[in-house]
Amino acid sequence: MTAPIMPKADAAELITAARIRQGLTWSDIAERIDAPVVWTVAALLGQHPVPAEKAAVVVEVLGLGEGVAESLTRQPMRVADDAAASDPTIYRFHEALAVYGPAIKELIHEEFGDGIMSAINFKVDVARRADPDGDRVVVTFDGKFLDYRW
C-alpha cells in the first residue's frame, strides 16, 4: 500500500523550516530553479503546481524527501470568497492576493523584517502598458513599511 500524498500545506511547512534552517532566502531558491521569486514563493507555499524537475531541485537543495516533491507537483485547490466573486474585476484582485498574498508577505518579512505595509500611508496607481499580446494593466501598491515594536 502506498502512502497518501502529503498535503500541500504540510509540504510548505517543511520547505519553510528547511529554508530557514539552512539560511537560504527565497531568492536563493528561485535562482536555483530559474524561476521568478514571487512565483517561486507562491508555488512553494502551495499555490501553483511545480514542474517535476524544479520540485526535484527544491527537495535536493533543502534536503527534503520525495513526498515533498510529489506534493509540489500537484495542482492546488484554490477557493474563492463568495462576496468577492460577484464582480469580475474585484474577484481578480481577490484571486491574485489569494495566490500571491502569502508569497508577498514572506518577501516583505524577508526584506524588511517583522512588520506590515501601511494602507494608511499608502499610494496606489493604475496604468496601461502596451504589449504585443494585448495591453497590460499595471497596478502599483506603494505603502510605508511599519515595523512591529515590542
DSSP class per residue in 28-60: HHHHHHT--HHHHHHHHTTSS---HHHHHHHHH
How many other CB atoms are found less than 10 A from the CB of residue 119?
A: 11
Neighbouring-strand partners of residue 142:
123
* Catalytic residue list: 92, 95, 118
